[in-house]
Amino acid sequence: MKSLIICADFPPFLSGIGDFTDRLASAMTRAGQHVSVLTMQGSDDGVKRPYEVLRVMPSFGMKSMDTLLDIARDFDVVNIQYPGVHFGRSPMINLLPPKLKRLGVASVVTIHDARVMRWRWRLRTWPMLNTVSGIIHVDPGDWPIIKSWLTFGAPPRACVPIASNVEMLDATVADVARWRNELGIQPDETACAFFGILYPHKGVDELIDAVTTLRARGHKLKLVVIGDFDREADWRPAMEKRLKSDEIVWVRGASLDRVSECLHACDIAALPFHSGTSVNRSSMLATLAHGLPTITTDGPNTPKEIRELFDLELVPIKDVTALTSAIERVLTDDALRNRLRENASKASKRISWDSVARQTSDFHKQIAQSRGAKCAS
């Protein structure tokens, strides 16, 4: 069976969904599935991948529909990764499933972060959700939102949680010492990692305020920000100015291997998301996979069962005082820090990319057969 994954934002473009697609396609290929990824025209990152990357789409506007359909007709299942910046506001991707059906090609949409979509984004998904052959959602809590937009009944669906987008490199003590030295982290300093694409709603300002307060209290703490911007915005200059500080190491444009090196070099992590953490936070999964005690937020998107799944220090959203206190507890309480470290990697190992690939491939096959796609015959 041949699967085509459509991902508007693919490396080297900065995107968690792009990194997710890369890891998923690689794992599916290792498992013997024939996979290709269709994305935008543009620069190649030079990475040799085990699957085909079709960087041919001039855009995902209506004028490019025929280009997409000409490619899709050679596949059994087309899996749209949604949303994506490069899909933009064009209705083309939302109108794609019925056109694929007429070609005898089954369609699947993977919904990321339905709960944080604004109502306008949700409105645009209506034609896609109501004509697609099958739905995958990566966060269990997203299903009630998705279901509320289904007018004509629910198609087959699967919840397939994600794994960490950052594969943990093997590291010796000497490797970690070298990476810390490269980052300018002193032997007696505690390095606190922040990882992710930079937006105000990631809580970067609150984290900088907390670190500044703790340093003023005498804690030898260094903030390591591993991330960059994916767009111009009116808030960006102010954030850039704050990040260019002697108490902050800002790692920009890092490859995933370099991200792993930086996480190895850190001692703890803080991710103060304004919407709260959830089971599909790839940056959190990455810090946990690297065994970092992680402080994050309990907000509107945080499921009640999060404490059963992960051992985290949770604080209220947008609360600098609570964030500062939580970081200080982890810095000063050896028992707490050791417990968080021991439980971090255990929790992240529950979900592997091999498992994600197997569930996705099985769902593709189920949908293709049930919809009478070419492979079913």
Question: pLDDT tens for residues 351-366?
Answer: 789 999 999 999 999 9
* Residues 91 and 115 sit within 8 Å (Cβ to Cβ): no
Residue 373: the pLDDT is 46
pLDDT of 336 strictly over 80 = yes
* Separation CA 28–CA 332 (nearest Å): 43
Range 317-341 average pLDDT = 97
Indicate whether 118 pLDDT > 90: no
Predicted local distance difference test score (pLDDT) of residue 377: 35
- Residue pair 38/8 in contact by the 8 Å Cβ criterion: no
Q: Which DSSP symbol is given to 168? A: P
Other residues' Cβ atoms within 10 Å of the Cβ of residue 241? 9
The Cα 366–Cα 145 span in angstroms is 24
Quick one: 100 exposed, middle or buried, by C-beta within 10 A (0-12, 13-18, 19+)?
Answer: buried
Structural tokens at position 113: 């972060």
- Which CATH number among 1.20.58.220, 3.40.50.2000, 3.30.930.10, 3.40.190.10 corresponds to the domain 2-163+352-376? 3.40.50.2000
Q: How confident is the model at residue 304 (pLDDT cuts 50, 70, 90)?
A: confident
pLDDT average, residue stretch 290-310: 92
* Mean of pLDDT values over 271-289: 93
Better-scored residue on pLDDT, 85 or 203:
203
Q: How far apart are the first and last CA of the chain?
A: 11
Residues 6+ apart with CB under 8 A from 249: 183, 184, 185, 191, 222, 223, 224, 225
Give SS3 for 156.
coil
**Predicted pLDDT of residue 156:** 96
Report the candidate in 57, 69, 59 with the shortest Cα–Cα distance to residue 102. 69
Question: Which residue ranges make up each domain of the chain?
Answer: 2-163+352-376, 173-348
| Res. 317: pLDDT tops 60 | yes
Contact by Cβ (8 Å): 138, 162: yes
Give the global pTM. 0.84
Average pLDDT over residues 197-210: 96
Average pLDDT over residues 305-325: 95
What pLDDT score does 264 carry? 98
Cβ contact 21:98 at 8 Å: no
Statement: residue 178 has pLDDT above 90: yes
Nearby residues of 302 by Cβ (< 8 Å), 6 or more positions away: 276, 277, 278, 314
Q: What is the mean pLDDT of residues 264-275?
A: 97
Whether residue 375 has pLDDT greater than 50: no
Per the DSSP assignment, residues forming a β-bridge with 80 are: 6, 109
Pair 280, 110: CB distance under 8 Å: no
181 or 352, greater pLDDT: 181
| Average pLDDT for 324-341 | 97
Tell me how crowded residue 201 is: count the other CB atoms within 10 A of its CB.
12
Q: Which tokens belong to 185?
A: 């982290």
> Confidence class of residue 182 from pLDDT cuts 50, 70 and 90?
very high
Residue pLDDT, tens place only, 3-16: 999 999 999 988 88
C-beta of residue 248 within 8 angstroms of C-beta of residue 223: yes
The matching CATH number, chosen from 3.20.20.220, 3.20.20.70, 3.90.1300.10, 3.40.50.2000, for 173-348 is: 3.40.50.2000
- Report the pLDDT value the prediction gives residue 43, as an integer from 0 to 100: 79
Per-residue pLDDT, averaged over 22-39, amounts to 96
Beta bridge partners of 108: 79, 134
Averaged pLDDT for residues 201-208: 97
Yes or no: say if 284 and 296 are a contact pair by the CB < 8 Å rule.
yes
- CA 331 distance to own-chain centroid: 27
* Mean pLDDT, rounded, of the chain: 92
pLDDT digits over 61-88, tens only?
Answer: 999 999 999 999 999 999 999 988 888 8
Query: What does the pLDDT read at residue 372?
Result: 57
Per the CB < 8 A criterion, the answer to whether 295 and 211 are in contact is no
